[in-house]
Amino acid sequence: MKFSKNTFNDDSLKKIAALVKVYIERGGFEIQINVTSRETLLAAQKEPDKYRDLAVRVGGYSDYFCRLTPEMQAEILLRTEHEI
């Protein structure tokens, strides 16, 4: 799951906790929550030296965004970003 940074505030914490709880109750056993804005990822593409420590989730593993191929970076950018 990828959320906008705007999602994480005092008002939304109960909603996020409820979302995770329902997921687990319905049989989910693993959850990966990413909080990186599209703007940050685009900036990392333009100036990778400034974002060497930016890690992203790729399928079953994590990697540094700037080490990914341009095609994989584009795939990461296509993933949906949610707001509550």
Distance CA 7, CA 83 (A): 5
Structural domain tally of the chain? 1
Structure confidence by residue, pLDDT tens digits, 41-83: 999 999 999 999 999 888 788 999 999 999 999 988 887 665 6
- Residue 51 within a domain: yes
Average pLDDT over residues 7-17: 83
CA distances to 29, 31, 84 from 65, in Å: 26, 20, 25
Q: Region 3-24: what's the mean pLDDT?
A: 84
Q: Which residue has the tokens 């505030």?
A: 9
Which pTM was predicted? 0.67
Whether 83 is covered by a domain: the verdict is no
Q: Is the pLDDT of residue 21 over 90?
A: yes
Domain limits for position 58: 5-78
Is 36 among the domain residues? yes
